[in-house]
């Protein structure tokens, strides 16, 4: 099988439905990265780890310098990490090596990214604006991301592992927490105001998580 056919096959196996950000900003190129890692013999789990490393580097850049140039660099590195976060699944599906450990490992690293980015954004916003409110928003942002991931992962146990997104946007797209996390983090960094992601996840998304928990309890709480 030639390279073009392999790339087309990887693309054809991409996850559907997918989030809006993922569909237009990561899945458009992730299959090329998956092909590259396939050619050099990397495993999907290693690609997942590289994605985490890139996001950790992005966070380190934010801590080091929050000038416009460095925030743009941090945005680019985080974006590349998001692409690799899509490429690991593309590669796993193409090689047919999907495993429960791989799914857990990818989810675990996502939670680690959320702890890192929102803890750092809250701390840095507190330093930059001398307002302890941003520490609270950082804590709530970590809560909303981690709890959303926990509820989503738990639902799989009740739904026998079936993909059942909470919010669908048409037949091809979903409203996903990780997907929107990447969007608002990158948007905040590109605009040069780290408070944007904090305000969104510390308020609106926190309320959405509570609503998600209530719906989950209503649906499964009375099940016998």
Read off the pLDDT band of 175 (50, 70, 90): low
pLDDT of 120 > 90? The answer is yes
pLDDT of 50 > 60? The answer is yes
* Mean pLDDT within 174-185: 77
3-state secondary structure of 19: strand
Instruction: Summarize pLDDT for 123-171 with one digit per residue, the tens.
Output: 999 999 999 999 999 999 999 888 887 777 676 666 555 545 455 555 5
The helix (H) or strand (E) run that includes residue 178 is helix 177-191
Instruction: Summarize pLDDT for 125-134 with one digit per residue, the tens.
Output: 999 999 999 9
pLDDT of 224 > 70? The answer is no
What are the tokens at 25?
Answer: 């900003």
**Edge-to-edge strand list for the sheet holding 168-169:** 18-19, 173-174, 168-169
Mean pLDDT of the chain: 86
* Mean pLDDT within 194-200: 94
Question: What local confidence, expressed as pLDDT, does residue 100 receive?
Answer: 82
Q: Does the predicted TM-score (pTM) go above 0.85?
A: yes
What are the tokens at 20?
Answer: 């809006």
pLDDT of 6 > 80? The answer is yes
Domains annotated for the chain, with CATH where assigned, are: 41-82+96-220 (1.20.120.1760)
- Please state, in angstroms and as integers, the Cα–Cα distance from residue 91 to each residue in 10, 96, 100, 125, following that order: 7, 8, 15, 37
* Mean pLDDT within 2-15: 87
Question: What local confidence, expressed as pLDDT, does residue 222 receive?
Answer: 64
Cα–Cα dist 46/51, whole Å? 9
């Amino acid at each position: 099988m030639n390279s073009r056919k392999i790339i087309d096959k990887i693309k054809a196996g991409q996850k559907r439905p997918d989030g809006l950000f993922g569909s237009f900003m990561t899945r458009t190129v992730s299959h090329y990265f998956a092909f590259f890692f396939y050619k050099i013999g990397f495993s999907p789990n290693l690609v997942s780890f590289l994605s985490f490393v890139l996001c950790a580097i992005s966070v380190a850049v934010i801590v080091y310098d929050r000038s416009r140039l460095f925030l743009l660099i941090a945005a680019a590195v985080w974006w590349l990490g998001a692409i690799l976060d899509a490429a690991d699944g593309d590669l796993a599906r193409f090689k047919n090596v999907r495993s429960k450990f791989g799914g857990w490992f990818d989810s675990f690293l996502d939670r680690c990214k959320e702890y890192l980015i929102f803890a750092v954004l809250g701390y840095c916003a507190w330093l930059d604006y001398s307002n302890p409110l941003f520490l609270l928003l950082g804590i709530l942002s970590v809560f909303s991301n981690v709890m959303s991931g926990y509820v989503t992962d738990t639902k799989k146990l009740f739904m026998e592992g079936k993909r059942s997104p909470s919010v669908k946007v048409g037949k091809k797209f979903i409203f996903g927490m990780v997907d929107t996390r990447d969007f608002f983090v990158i948007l905040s960094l590109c605009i040069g105001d780290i408070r944007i992601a904090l305000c969104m996840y510390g308020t609106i998304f926190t309320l959405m998580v509570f609503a998600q928990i209530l719906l989950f309890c209503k649906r499964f709480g009375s099940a016998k």
